[in-house]
Structure 1
């Protein structure tokens, strides 16, 4: 394995967002609290991480460390690499066995938003490689176009739909669950996202233990 120094993203594709204040998205609770409630409702294992802006989309990752891979990377001094151009080369066949192993397992990606259209736009890019869910205020879930349009589109992508009202989170539509499926083969995007999540996990005070 090749030790690779960590790098900071220079293209503003990743931004840490504050979820500690009252949500500006129409929820009665802070975004981080909404994330915790949603992950618990869906049964997603791992740590609910700080809200992030990735590829211009506001999301809340849920993830856990892969102990063996993390230990190997610590041993080799291989920090998270956030340079998207560099991580894109890691999925090339000729790089097999020559790059750091994925040390995070993204168990889900939440997309809280004021409106379901914005939430779906945020969640769709991640639905190819992990469980995803959108969270909207309860008032949105009773709108006329919610059942006729939102749930149909979410079902097409396997995205779960949740509504939140204060401390209550309800599942309006179950989504595709990756937890019992073989790990999806990494793409350039998913490998880069994995490094972003890995950085957030090791920065957390106490990441949740892995199931393995």
Structure 2
């Protein structure tokens, strides 16, 4: 998935095997080291998942009073586990949060129908080879233009921040 993110131009840290929103994907996040340090200094480094508290954190009136988000989502890559259609379905669920892509395994060709559906949904298609990944079809950059930020965004960011804190392979991103 790192090669797919690199081919798409998504810089950041790949958090693999994320199970959220009824999907199983890899998420590319950009850690905010300053926000992490702010949270450490103010003794609120642990991720908070309480919906009521997160709603207050997102209030415009609370800017500066509550912890800043320690990660932002750059993109989401859905790998093909059962089928390419399942991967597309998973990627579509994340379009409201970030740019998305379907990563086809080495040797699997993308059908015209799959490319058409991905194009319609704004989902990129990447073919991973053993040495590199190649973008077969670009997708839309960023989240859907009509998607506004909600408490769910913050909840997902907190979950991903928690993964960075506990996963030794990813924790270096916060230093």
TM-score (normalizing by structure 2): 0.81
Stretches of structure 1 lacking an aligned partner (at least 5 in a row): 1-34
Instruction: Verify: 1:41 aligned to 2:4, yes or no.
Output: no
Aligned twin of 1:123? 91
| Count of residue pairs the alignment pairs up | 168
In structure 1, the residue corresponding to 2:171 is in which secondary structure?
coil
SS of the aligned residue for 1:199 comes to: helix
Q: Which residue of 1 aligns with 2:133?
A: 169
Kept in 2: contact 1:154–1:161 (CA 8 A): yes
Secondary structure of 1:51 counterpart: strand
> Is 2:117 the counterpart of 1:189?
no
| Residue in 2 that maps onto 1:8 | none
RMSD, matched Cα: 2.7
For residue 37 of structure 2, give the secondary structure of its aligned residue in structure 1. helix
Which of 53, 75, 79 is the matching residue for 2:19? 53
Following superposition of structure 1 onto structure 2, how do residues 189-208 of structure 1 map, counting pairs within 5 Å? 189-203=152-166, 204-207=170-173
Q: 1:91 to 1:157 in 2, by over 3 A?
A: farther
SS of residue in 2 equivalent to 1:153: helix
Contact 2:106 2:130 in 1 (8 A): no
CA offset at residue 100 of structure 1? 2.0
Could you list the runs of 5+ residues in structure 2 that have no partner in the other structure?
A: none
User: Is the 1:64–1:201 contact (alpha carbons within 8 Å) kept by the matching residues of 2?
Assistant: no
User: Are the aligned partners of 1:46 and 1:208 in contact in 2 as well (CA < 8 Å)?
Assistant: no
TM-score, normalised to structure 1, is 0.68
Write the distance in 2 (CA, Å) between the matches of 1:85 and 1:56. 22
Question: What do the CA deviations read for 1:70-96 (whole angstroms, capped 9, x no partner)?
Answer: 221111111211345653554355655
